[in-house]
Chain A
Amino acid sequence: MAHVVTLLLLMPLVGYLVVLLNGTSLKERYVGAVATGVVALSFVFAVVAFVLVLHRSNREVTVHLFDWITVGTLHVPAALLVDPLSVTMCLFVTGISALIHLYSIGYMRGEKDYRKFFLYMNLFVFSMLILVLANNLLLTFVGWEGVGVCSYWLVSYYFTKDAAASAGKKAFLYNRVGDVGLLIAMFLIFGHTHTLTYLNVFHVAGTFSPTVATLTVLALLLAATGKSAQIPLFNWLPDAMEGPTPVSALIHAATMVTAGVYLLVRMSPVLTMSPDGRATIAIIGGATAFVAATIATAQKDIKKVLAFSTVSQIGYMVMAVGVGAYSAAIFLMVAHAFYKALLFLGAGSVIHSLNGEQDLRKMGGLAKYLPLTFPTFLVAWLSISGIPPFSGFFAKGDVLTKVFEHNKALWVLGVVTAILTAYYMTRLFVLTFRGTERFREVTKGHDPHESPWVMTLPLVVLAVLAALGGLLNLPWAHSSSLAGFLDPTFGFVPAVSSSSTIAQWGLALVDVVAAVLGLLAAYSIWRGVSESPRFESPFFEHVWHWDDFYDDVIGRPLTRAAQYSDDVIEPKVIDGAVTGVAVATRRSAEGLRKIQSGFVRQYALAMVLGVAVIIVYLVARVH
């Protein structure tokens, strides 16, 4: 077990080092193969680890690698925790990463920094695996920051473009705000438990006072809102779409942005101690799901729609965490990874076929030109919209059922968001694949072409997963489902839902009605429409003016304060005070000016002479 997990972790690092150290002596076409191969190997090891965990009675294994930091009472080993949760994360992270790496071989062909792209991608997977496998908060933080910095590099991959450079910086800074939360959470936990190791913290989590528990949970929530793009820190994610599309699929849809949810789920024993904190989490999640969905209805860039859709879907996951439905959150995370990665890769295939065009207004009628992209995208569309029997129906339904048991108001918000989700996804689908062809200008009259097999194969695999993902966690197969596998990790006794079967069918019916409603509405509005911006509220399109608000309230005042400090306070006030003292002294002793002009050199000379005298004196004394 220890070897398997260590290899699982190290494979992407090996790939990184192989590509880095070989430099240009490794031909470019092998770079992609090496990078993809190591991640695929990681996936194989993850499967082995999963089987091993499945057949153990004690499903928590700690793998100690080495002592990292040891000072006083602070012991932080580099050690891994293998349990159902981390293995589940590893499986879908490595699996989807491998597919997206394969896709990137085709998508990134011909890019100037091809090698660097795969370096960052491998480093990203390595960091992500550290994040999910760490056995303590601080090591998780290593992965947490690692994925953040890889995201920064990959978003600003086209660094000669100002928008890309700014977007990378924005992503990093918004995440840093969240990081402060994670740091504070760690400090609070260490202050009360003298450990950062998960299992040790969980043992004593019951002794947290309500105040400390709530502070800790709020700090963790701040961290999660940064990494997982939730209110109030969500607006870096759409900008991050400046990165290459495979990056958006891997980092900004399937894996990294779900890290915040993972963190909250991992810390569930502490969350349990603070009902107030959990309520806050649920509200933030619900609000984000709704707000982001409204914004997605009015975006014109295909990737921006998907970005806000991701924010909205993660909102569902966060809401699930808030009501204590941890395995439902993970289920949606996995299903979402399947269909959202598929949506991004499909969008990438579309963009690829249109020479880089991302504007929905310049697409349309692409179905017949993209024979593989179209049907796979169709599966993803139905899945995220919540149409049975695709995975999204089961995953979102699971979350909404659990929310219904806790809070009816949030449930209503969730259902409204589900209508919006079906609406904006259908709008995107129709504008891209149906209706009139509006892309001739972009393609200079040519027919768009389907992508090479390295790009379409991942689409097909993901389409199968997105279609059948619901099987992971069928509501009537509890003991052999994902929830049955995960729940012991959260200290739950596997139990059937408290809602009756009838109620569950009823809720499922509501979900279906909501999905169909949104779908039909969008279809009837957008079918055959090309230019007219109906139902695209400028308020939604401009992200509820969130960025402007931050600029006005934080960005500009801080910049002005910095400039003022540099121009006035530093030279005039602080330095001025000191200089003032010196000037006053000089004026009061005008007569000493002559001496003062040569002051430094004379002093230095005096000093050297003084030392020389001392040395001579000493030498004389010794003899």
Chain B
Amino acid sequence: MHSSIYLLLLIVVPLAGALAAALVRKVQGLAYALGVGTALVEMALALIVAFLYNPHVKNAQTYDFVTRHVLSAPFGLAYDVAVDGISLLMVVLTALVLLLALLGSRDKRREAAFVGWLLALTSFTMASFLSHDVLEFFIFFELTLVPSYFIIAGWGGAQRAKAALKFFIYTFSGSAFLLIGILYLGFAHQHQTTGVLTFSYSALQSTGMTHSTAVWLFIAFAIAFAVKSPIWPFHTWSPITYAEAPTGGSIELSALLAKLGSYGLLRFAVGLFPLALPTMRPIVLTLAVISILYGSLIACATPDLKRLVAYSSVAQLGFITLGIMTGSKIAMVGAVLLMFNHGVITIGFFLIIGFIERRRGSYQIKDLTGLQGPAPVMAALFTIVMMASIGLPGLSGFVSEYLILIGTFGTHAWWGAIATTGVLAAAAYLLWAYQRVFHGRAEGANASITDLNFKERWVLVPVVVLILALGVFPKPVLDRISPSVQVLIHHVAPAGVNK
């Protein structure tokens, strides 16, 4: 067992960075430098945890870096953190998103505040992924709304106020159900056992409940996470929010915060209420498949690049949800991997769209033509990201999508078969958008744009490296995910499906 100090640092370092950024806001550029420094430290910490992580520390459990301190027994409050193969990738992603969002989208308007909010958001998100206590998770899950709101409302586009409000009301309404569910579960557990109020994840996993209770609690949890993901039909906040948010905000929201939804669905909704699964599985699987098809369909018609990525994300999150809900080990591992891969791919998309916007002042498809002529490097990097998203074998997106589909097909052949047509749809909307934006003859303002500069290329290097590495050699990552998924499946269905 490794020391949990690393996890504490992962949460505290960015928070400290945020406070420091607030203190030095008067000095031009210092807050930004501080932010980048903090992000580098955070990245280093995340990588240390990723490499040290050992799934075999305890029998039948795959948690490492575990610690638990009860902070307030009467309220059931605890500081309880741990990492397993399911959260490990999310920890790395959280650090990566911070670093690349800072490096790739510098915004000099009230820079210290922007950096501060980004750092705070990272701290809260990190804490959510590390929480091994349901109430603790909820608190940080909710706290992420505050910096997100201010980032959208403070640095967004023309409709930022509307977008921020919509984002906040949607996600906040969703979490109301979650809070009720958590409290109910905690009290139920208290009554069944020694009378001590606790929200410890492992303790709550053993709460006895009837089938109908399980179903209601599952629904309460799933609504919050479906809004966050987002899953059809709870997705309509996301296109306007991603489009109006500044580049850094779009990255944080879609590459990272969306994963809180699928992570929550897997860890808490599925992990705590296995009894509800036989009833809920077909419903959620169907919503997932609708998300894939509907998201793809609208992505074909949507007029701007940011919305295109937003709807593409609806489809991708559909794949993730499919993998989570099937009960197949292969599909679940694929879903966890896709959470990470989709994060990386989305960072790539929004960074490049940001670079286009920086040059052309627009990300409307109709304003852009023939960019491959004046900006071949930008086109090449966009192509790599796009192909990873389409699911080209040899790139990261394929491995995860393939695992999800082959696993789903084994347990739910019809859903799997319909979802497989989603790989065709992704190619359709992305290649069409690529043709309109990058192919053709560039004229006027499009002809005179500059190609990516040195720094912009370097920011995209980690994205490209991860896309290639996880496509060609995903084994080290799969070996870390698999044992934890195995444990979860064993809990969910002791004698059940294990394909």
Contacts and interface: CB of A to CB of B under 8 A. Distances in A.
Query: For chain A, which range describes its interface: under 10, 10 to 19, 20 to 34, or 35 or more residues?
Result: 35 or more
B478 interface: yes
B474 A69 contact: yes
A413 to B, nearest CB: 32
Given A71-B333, A603-B172, A165 B406 contact: no
Interface in A598-617: 600, 603-604, 607-608, 611, 614, 617
A565 B403 CA distance: 30
Contacts of B456: none
A611 B140 CA distance: 10
B302 A566 contact: yes
Secondary structure of the A contact surface, majority rule: helix
Query: For chain B, which range describes its interface: under 10, 10 to 19, 20 to 34, or 35 or more residues?
Result: 35 or more
Interface in B381-417: 387, 392-394, 398-399, 402-403, 405-406, 409-410, 413, 416-417
A169 B72 CA distance: 61
Interface string B225-249: 0000000110010000000000000
A600 B165 contact: yes
Interface string A171-205: 01100110110011011101100000000000000
Contacts, number: 163
B440 A575 contact: no
A174 to B, nearest CB: 10
Secondary structure of the B contact surface, majority rule: helix
Contact of A176 (B77, B373, B427, B499): B427
A570 interface: yes
A149 interface: yes
B300 A66 contact: no
Contacts of B139: 611
Contacts of A17: none
Contact of B440 (A165, A558, A578, A611): A165
Among A68, A70, A183, max chain B CB count under 10 A is at A183
Interface in B292-311: 294, 297-298, 300-302
B465 interface: no
Contacts of A621: 71-72
B439 to A, nearest CB: 4
B447 to A, nearest CB: 11
A23 B168 CA distance: 48
Given A160-B373, A169-B435, A187-B409, A176 B440 contact: no
Interface string B421-461: 10110011001100100111100000000000000000000
Given A71-B482, A179-B423, A191-B410, A604 B146 contact: yes
A589 to B, nearest CB: 15
B342 interface: no
A172 B431 contact: yes
B473 A68 contact: yes
Nearest to B411: A191
A614 B145 CA distance: 18
Contact of B410 (A187, A559, A603, A614): A187
B261 interface: no
A554 to B, nearest CB: 11
Contacts of A575: 236
Contact of B77 (A162, A186, A561, A614): A614
A145 interface: yes
Contacts of A608: 146
Contacts of A578: 170, 236
Nearest to B307: A566
B370 A160 contact: yes
A574 interface: yes
B341 interface: no
Contacts of A177: 424
Contacts of A141: 393
A159 B439 contact: yes
B393 A574 contact: no
B326 interface: no
Contacts of A183: 402, 405, 420, 423
Contact of B432 (A145, A169, A186): A169
A311 interface: no
B300 A559 contact: yes
A72 B142 contact: no
B486 to A, nearest CB: 8
Contact of B406 (A149, A156, A172, A186): A186
A607 B301 contact: no
A607 B164 contact: no
Interface in A53-104: 66-74
A585 B384 CA distance: 47
Contacts of A559: 300-301
A607 B146 CA distance: 8
Interface in A559-574: 559, 561-563, 565-567, 570, 574
Nearest to B434: A169
Interface in A108-145: 138, 141-142, 145
A166 interface: yes
Among A146, A177, A561, A575, max chain B CB count under 10 A is at A575
Contact of A73 (B71, B301, B399, B499): B499
Contacts of A187: 405-406, 409-410, 413, 416-417, 420
B330 interface: yes
B498 interface: yes
B201 interface: no
B172 A159 contact: no
A59 B486 CA distance: 40
B440 A71 contact: no
Contacts of A614: 77
A145 B439 contact: no
Interface string A533-567: 00000000000000000000000001101110111
Contacts of B420: 180, 183-184, 187
Contacts of B428: 173, 176
A618 interface: yes
B171 to A, nearest CB: 11
A493 interface: no
Contact of A180 (B77, B146, B236, B421): B421
Among A169, A559, A561, max chain B CB count under 10 A is at A169
Contacts of B145: 604, 607
A584 interface: no
B244 to A, nearest CB: 15
Interface in B448-499: 472-475, 478-479, 482, 498-499
A241 to B, nearest CB: 18
Contacts of A604: 145-146, 149-150
B372 interface: yes
B410 A160 contact: no
Contacts of B432: 169
A159 to B, nearest CB: 4
A621 B78 CA distance: 13
Interface string B127-150: 000000000000100110110011
Contacts of B439: 156, 159-160, 162, 165
Contacts of A561: 297
Contacts of B150: 604
B167 to A, nearest CB: 10
A567 B298 CA distance: 9
B441 A160 contact: yes
A578 B170 CA distance: 9
Given A159-B439, A607-B142, 16 more contacts: A71-B330, A71-B334, A71-B403, A71-B478, A72-B333, A145-B393, A160-B370, A162-B440, A184-B409, A186-B406, A558-B297, A582-B169, A600-B168, A611-B143, A618-B71, A621-B71
22 contacts: A69-B478, A72-B499, A145-B393, A145-B398, A149-B387, A159-B370, A159-B440, A160-B370, A165-B440, A172-B427, A180-B420, A180-B421, A187-B420, A558-B297, A558-B300, A565-B294, A582-B169, A604-B149, A611-B143, A614-B77, A618-B71, A621-B71
A-B pairs with lowest CB-CB distance, top 5: A165-B439, A187-B409, A566-B301, A562-B301, A575-B236
